[in-house]
Amino acid sequence: MNAVASAQVSRDTVLAWLGEVMDPEVPVVSVVDLGLIRDVEWQDESLVVTVTPTYSGCPATEVIAQSIRDAVQARGIGEVTVRTQLAPAWTTDWMSTKGRDALRAYGIAPPVHRAAAADGTQAIDISALLAQRVVVPCPQCNSRKTRLLSQFGSTACKALYQCNDCLEPFDYFKAH
Protein backbone atom coordinates (compact mmCIF):
# COMPACT_ATOMS: atom_id res chain seq x y z
CA MET A 1 0.00 0.00 0.00
CA ASN A 2 1.40 3.41 -0.79
CA ALA A 3 0.38 7.01 -0.51
CA VAL A 4 -0.30 7.56 -4.19
CA ALA A 5 -3.68 9.19 -3.82
CA SER A 6 -3.12 10.55 -0.35
CA ALA A 7 -2.40 14.15 -1.25
CA GLN A 8 -5.62 14.32 -3.23
CA VAL A 9 -7.83 13.04 -0.45
CA SER A 10 -9.55 16.02 1.09
CA ARG A 11 -10.42 16.63 4.69
CA ASP A 12 -14.12 16.31 3.81
CA THR A 13 -13.57 12.94 2.24
CA VAL A 14 -11.78 11.70 5.33
CA LEU A 15 -14.56 13.08 7.53
CA ALA A 16 -17.08 11.22 5.38
CA TRP A 17 -15.14 7.99 5.97
CA LEU A 18 -15.02 8.67 9.68
CA GLY A 19 -18.77 9.30 9.57
CA GLU A 20 -19.06 5.55 9.13
CA VAL A 21 -16.93 4.72 12.18
CA MET A 22 -19.39 4.01 14.97
CA ASP A 23 -18.86 4.37 18.68
CA PRO A 24 -18.33 0.79 19.94
CA GLU A 25 -20.74 1.27 22.85
CA VAL A 26 -23.39 3.24 20.99
CA PRO A 27 -23.13 1.64 17.55
CA VAL A 28 -25.59 4.01 15.86
CA VAL A 29 -23.64 7.22 16.39
CA SER A 30 -20.42 7.91 14.54
CA VAL A 31 -17.30 9.37 16.09
CA VAL A 32 -17.91 12.48 13.97
CA ASP A 33 -21.49 12.91 15.21
CA LEU A 34 -20.33 12.43 18.80
CA GLY A 35 -18.00 15.39 18.34
CA LEU A 36 -14.84 13.38 18.97
CA ILE A 37 -12.95 14.42 15.83
CA ARG A 38 -11.17 17.71 16.43
CA ASP A 39 -9.07 17.88 13.32
CA VAL A 40 -7.99 16.07 10.17
CA GLU A 41 -4.87 17.24 8.42
CA TRP A 42 -2.02 16.09 6.26
CA GLN A 43 1.51 16.32 7.57
CA ASP A 44 3.68 15.50 4.58
CA GLU A 45 2.59 12.02 3.55
CA SER A 46 0.96 11.21 6.86
CA LEU A 47 -2.69 11.75 7.75
CA VAL A 48 -3.16 13.02 11.29
CA VAL A 49 -6.57 12.59 12.92
CA THR A 50 -6.94 14.50 16.19
CA VAL A 51 -9.39 12.94 18.60
CA THR A 52 -10.62 14.06 22.00
CA PRO A 53 -11.68 11.49 24.61
CA THR A 54 -15.19 11.53 26.07
CA TYR A 55 -14.60 10.55 29.70
CA SER A 56 -11.10 10.14 31.17
CA GLY A 57 -11.59 6.48 31.87
CA CYS A 58 -13.78 5.52 28.92
CA PRO A 59 -12.60 2.05 27.88
CA ALA A 60 -13.84 2.68 24.33
CA THR A 61 -11.14 5.29 23.68
CA GLU A 62 -8.53 2.82 22.47
CA VAL A 63 -11.04 0.88 20.39
CA ILE A 64 -12.10 4.15 18.75
CA ALA A 65 -8.51 5.04 17.86
CA GLN A 66 -7.99 1.63 16.28
CA SER A 67 -11.31 1.82 14.38
CA ILE A 68 -10.25 5.17 12.96
CA ARG A 69 -6.90 3.80 11.81
CA ASP A 70 -8.60 0.76 10.28
CA ALA A 71 -11.21 2.84 8.45
CA VAL A 72 -8.63 5.15 6.91
CA GLN A 73 -6.18 2.41 6.02
CA ALA A 74 -8.96 0.40 4.39
CA ARG A 75 -9.20 3.27 1.87
CA GLY A 76 -5.53 2.93 1.01
CA ILE A 77 -4.00 5.61 3.20
CA GLY A 78 -0.77 4.10 4.41
CA GLU A 79 0.35 6.39 7.16
CA VAL A 80 -2.17 7.54 9.72
CA THR A 81 -1.60 8.90 13.20
CA VAL A 82 -4.38 9.26 15.75
CA ARG A 83 -3.45 12.05 18.11
CA THR A 84 -5.24 12.70 21.41
CA GLN A 85 -6.08 16.23 22.43
CA LEU A 86 -7.51 16.98 25.87
CA ALA A 87 -8.33 20.68 25.57
CA PRO A 88 -10.84 22.03 25.06
CA ALA A 89 -12.50 19.23 27.00
CA TRP A 90 -15.11 17.26 25.11
CA THR A 91 -18.69 18.29 25.71
CA THR A 92 -21.97 16.78 24.58
CA ASP A 93 -22.71 20.23 23.13
CA TRP A 94 -20.58 19.08 20.18
CA MET A 95 -22.90 16.20 19.40
CA SER A 96 -24.61 16.75 16.06
CA THR A 97 -28.36 16.87 15.51
CA LYS A 98 -28.00 13.75 13.42
CA GLY A 99 -26.26 12.06 16.34
CA ARG A 100 -28.97 13.12 18.76
CA ASP A 101 -31.70 11.82 16.47
CA ALA A 102 -29.87 8.53 16.03
CA LEU A 103 -29.56 8.12 19.80
CA ARG A 104 -33.27 8.72 20.31
CA ALA A 105 -34.21 6.27 17.58
CA TYR A 106 -31.94 3.72 19.26
CA GLY A 107 -33.81 4.17 22.57
CA ILE A 108 -31.28 6.42 24.33
CA ALA A 109 -32.47 9.87 25.36
CA PRO A 110 -30.01 12.51 24.06
CA PRO A 111 -28.60 15.25 26.31
CA VAL A 112 -31.35 17.77 27.05
CA HIS A 113 -29.45 20.88 28.02
CA ARG A 114 -26.16 22.54 27.49
CA ALA A 115 -23.28 21.29 29.56
CA ALA A 116 -21.76 23.33 32.37
CA ALA A 117 -18.65 25.39 31.70
CA ALA A 118 -15.52 23.29 31.94
CA ASP A 119 -13.03 25.93 32.95
CA GLY A 120 -13.92 25.83 36.62
CA THR A 121 -14.52 29.56 36.69
CA GLN A 122 -18.24 29.11 36.87
CA ALA A 123 -19.43 29.16 40.46
CA ILE A 124 -20.87 25.86 41.57
CA ASP A 125 -24.03 26.42 43.52
CA ILE A 126 -24.78 23.41 45.67
CA SER A 127 -28.44 24.23 46.16
CA ALA A 128 -28.96 24.55 42.42
CA LEU A 129 -26.99 21.37 41.89
CA LEU A 130 -29.17 19.34 44.18
CA ALA A 131 -32.44 20.95 43.21
CA GLN A 132 -31.68 20.43 39.56
CA ARG A 133 -34.25 18.11 38.08
CA VAL A 134 -33.90 18.05 34.35
CA VAL A 135 -36.84 16.78 32.38
CA VAL A 136 -35.68 13.97 30.11
CA PRO A 137 -38.37 13.01 27.60
CA CYS A 138 -38.90 9.29 27.11
CA PRO A 139 -37.31 8.14 23.82
CA GLN A 140 -40.09 5.57 23.40
CA CYS A 141 -43.31 7.53 23.94
CA ASN A 142 -42.07 11.14 24.31
CA SER A 143 -43.72 11.50 27.70
CA ARG A 144 -42.10 14.12 29.90
CA LYS A 145 -43.13 12.22 33.03
CA THR A 146 -39.91 10.38 33.65
CA ARG A 147 -37.73 9.83 36.68
CA LEU A 148 -34.09 9.24 37.43
CA LEU A 149 -33.38 5.70 38.60
CA SER A 150 -29.62 5.91 38.82
CA GLN A 151 -27.01 8.57 38.09
CA PHE A 152 -24.95 6.04 36.16
CA GLY A 153 -26.29 3.61 33.57
CA SER A 154 -24.51 1.07 31.41
CA THR A 155 -21.52 3.37 30.82
CA ALA A 156 -19.99 6.48 32.40
CA CYS A 157 -21.66 8.71 29.81
CA LYS A 158 -25.20 7.58 30.64
CA ALA A 159 -27.71 7.71 33.48
CA LEU A 160 -30.68 5.40 33.94
CA TYR A 161 -34.23 6.75 33.77
CA GLN A 162 -37.70 5.29 33.71
CA CYS A 163 -40.84 6.55 32.02
CA ASN A 164 -43.83 6.89 34.35
CA ASP A 165 -46.28 6.58 31.43
CA CYS A 166 -45.04 3.68 29.31
CA LEU A 167 -42.99 2.31 32.25
CA GLU A 168 -40.00 1.57 30.02
CA PRO A 169 -36.60 2.09 31.62
CA PHE A 170 -34.14 3.87 29.34
CA ASP A 171 -30.59 5.18 29.16
CA TYR A 172 -30.04 8.93 29.14
CA PHE A 173 -26.89 10.31 27.51
CA LYS A 174 -25.88 12.88 30.15
CA ALA A 175 -25.15 16.49 29.29
CA HIS A 176 -21.44 16.76 29.97
- From 9-17, 23-31, 99-107, 119-127, give the range in contact with another protein by CB under 8 A: 119-127
Per rule CB under 8 A, is residue 115 in the interface with another protein? yes
Among 35, 23, 91, 100, residue whose Cα is nearest residue 60: 23
Rounded-to-integer distance, Cα 53 and Cα 140, Å: 29
Per rule CB under 8 A, is residue 69 in the interface with another protein? no
* Alpha-carbon distance values, 140 to 33, 71, 143, 145, 163 (Å): 22, 33, 8, 12, 9
Return the residue of 2, 20, 39, 59 that touches another protein, per CB under 8 A: 59
Per rule CB under 8 A, is residue 57 in the interface with another protein? yes
CB of 15 to another protein, least distance (A): 24
Rounded-to-integer distance, Cα 52 and Cα 139, Å: 27
Rounded-to-integer distance, Cα 163 and Cα 70, Å: 39
Per rule CB under 8 A, is residue 112 in the interface with another protein? no
Q: Extract the runs of DSSP E, i.e. beta strands, from the chain.
A: 37-43, 46-51, 80-84, 108-109, 146-150, 158-163, 169-173
Per rule CB under 8 A, is residue 86 in the interface with another protein? yes
- Which 17-36 residues touch another protein, going by CB under 8 A? none
Which is closer to another protein, CB of 7 or CB of 63?
Answer: 63
Per rule CB under 8 A, is residue 55 in the interface with another protein? yes
Residue 21 CA from chain centroid, whole number: 12
Binding site for another protein (CB under 8 A): 53, 55-59, 86-91, 115-116, 118-121, 124, 126-127, 129-130, 149-156, 160, 174, 176
